[in-house]
Chains A and B, each alone.
Chain A
Amino acid sequence: DARVTQTPRHKVTEMGQEVTMRCQPILGHNTVFWYRQTMMQGLELLAYFRNRAPLDDSGMPKDRFSAEMPDATLATLKIQPSEPRDSAVYFCASGDYRGGKQFFGPGTRLTVL
C-alpha cells in the first residue's frame, strides 16, 4: 500500500534553531505539496512542486522558510531561524499529473520553544 512518508514525526526545538523536515512522496506522483495546520488557520498551503520544479511558494514566509526537491523521492522544508509561531503540524502530500486527489503523509509535529 503506497504511502507518503515524513520525518521526523515530532520535533521540539528552541527558537533560533534550524529545522529540516523531509518527505518521500508516493512513487509515480509528480506533484508534491507542503501544508501547515494550526487550530486557528486550518490547513494552509505553503508550497508545491511539479516534476521537482517549484510552482508556487507564495504561502511561505520567504525570509525563513525554504522548500526544495533535490530528487523525485525527496522533498524538504527548512525553517531557519525557527520561531515559536512556527509551532504547528506540517504535512506533505503528493498527487499525480491529473491533480485533484492528494495523499497526505503522517505529518511532522513541530514545537518551537
Chain B
Amino acid sequence: RKEVEQDPGPFNVPEGATVAFNCTYSNSASQSFFWYRQDCRKEPKLLMSVYSSGNEDGRFTAQLNRASQYISLLIRDSKLSDSATYLCVVNNAGYSTLTFGKGTMLLVSP
C-alpha cells in the first residue's frame, strides 16, 4: 500500500464551483498533515496545515479523520488561479521528514 494515496485527476470544474479532494495515508502514527500546492513547473508551496478539528482558510477547508486515516480539502467558489496540483502531505512520526502524495490536478475553466 502506498504511504499517501491521492486520485491524480484531473478534476475539471467551472469557475465558481465547489470541489473536494481526498487523500488516505498508511502510517497511523503520523502527527502532522498538510496540503501543498504546486503550479506547473514550479516548486511545491504550503497551502495549509490540517488539524484534527478541521480548519478553514478563506475558501479552503481541510478536514482530518484519524480513525479512517483520511484527509480532505474543499475549495469553494473556484477561481481560475486555483488551477494547480494539490499535494497531500503527511509527516513521518518521530522524524522531521514528510511523505508527499503524487498530487491531484485541478483545472478551473471560465
Contacts and interface: CB of A to CB of B under 8 A. Distances in A.
B46 A101 contact: yes
Interface stretch (A13-21, A42-50, A62-70): A42-50
Interface in B35-54: 42-46, 49
A103 B46 contact: yes
A91 B97 CA distance: 14
B96 A99 contact: yes
A99 B49 CA distance: 13
A48 B43 contact: no
Given A91-B43, A100-B91, A104-B45, A48 B97 contact: yes
A67 B96 CA distance: 18
B76 interface: no
A107 B43 contact: yes
Contacts of B42: 106-107
Closest 4 CB pairs of A and B: A99-B96, A42-B102, A104-B43, A43-B100
30 contacts: A42-B100, A42-B102, A42-B103, A43-B87, A45-B98, A45-B99, A48-B97, A50-B96, A56-B95, A56-B97, A91-B44, A95-B96, A99-B32, A99-B91, A100-B32, A100-B34, A100-B49, A100-B91, A100-B96, A100-B98, A101-B34, A101-B49, A102-B98, A104-B44, A104-B45, A105-B43, A106-B42, A106-B43, A107-B42, A107-B43
